[in-house]
Amino acid sequence: MKSFWRKYNTLRNQIFLLFSLVSIVIVVAITSFGYNKFIKVYDTIIQSQLEQTSVELNRAMEAKYEQINSIASQVATDEDIQKLMFDLQQGPPTVSMEQQQQFKKVLRRYYPYVTTIYDYRFYTMQGRPVFPSSTSLQHAISPQWITKAGEANGKLIWIGQDSQNMRYSYAIKTIRSMNHSFKATGFLVLKLENAYFNTQFENDDNFVQIFDSEGQKIAGPESPNLLHGTQEELRINEKRYKIIQSVSADTNWTVYVAQSTNIYDGKIKNIRYFMILVSIIVAVIAFILSWIIASSITKPLKRLTAILRMNRKDNKMSTIEASTHNYEFHMLYKTYNEFITHINALIDEVYEKQLLQKQAELKAWQSQINPHFLYNTLNSFYWRLIEHGEDDLADQVLSMSELFKYSIHSSKSIDIVSLEQEIHHIDNYLNLMKMRLGDRLQWEVQCSPTLENLQIPKLLLQPLIENAIIHGIEPKRTNGFIRIAIIEAMHDITITISDNGIGISDNILQKLNNQIDLSRDNENIAIQNIQMRLSIHYSTQVAQSLHFSANKPCGTIVTLTIPKGEFT
CATH number for the domain harbouring residue 528: 3.30.565.10
**Quick check: is 257 in a domain?**
no
**Quick check: is 328 in a domain?**
no
Rounded Cα distance between 271 and 31, Å, is: 11
Low-confidence spans in the chain with pLDDT less than 50: 362, 364-370, 373, 410-413, 518-523
Please give the pLDDT value at position 478: 82
Task: Among 176, 196, 216, identify where a domain stops.
Answer: 196
φ/ψ of residue 470, rounded to 5:
-70, -45
**Quick check: is 8 in a domain?**
no
Helical pair 391-408 and 419-437, crossing angle rounded to 10 deg: 140
| Total Cβ atoms within 10 A of residue 169 | 24
Which tens digit of pLDDT belongs to each residue from 416-461? 888 898 898 888 888 878 877 888 889 999 998 888 888 888 888 8
**Quick check: is 524 in a domain?**
yes
**Quick check: is 518 in a domain?**
yes
Please give the pLDDT value at position 556: 92
The model's pTM: 0.44
- DSSP, residue by residue, 510-521: HHHHHTT-TTS-
Task: Among 196, 231, 259, identify where a domain stops.
Answer: 196
Please give the pLDDT value at position 6: 61
**Quick check: is 428 in a domain?**
no
Which has the closest alpha carbon to 194: 207, 206, 179, 210? Answer: 210
- Contact 239/50 with Cβ under 8 angstroms? no
Q: How many domains, in total, are found in the chain?
A: 2
**Quick check: is 105 in a domain?**
yes
Please give the pLDDT value at position 497: 93
Task: Among 152, 179, 196, identify where a domain stops.
Answer: 196
Q: Could you tell me the CATH number of the domain that includes residue 122?
A: 3.30.450.20
Q: Does a cis peptide bond (omega within 30 degrees of 0) precede residue 553?
A: yes
**Residue 508 DSSP class:** H
- Contact 80/175 with Cβ under 8 angstroms? no
**Residue 323 DSSP class:** P
Owning domain of residue 104: 78-196
**Quick check: is 297 in a domain?**
no
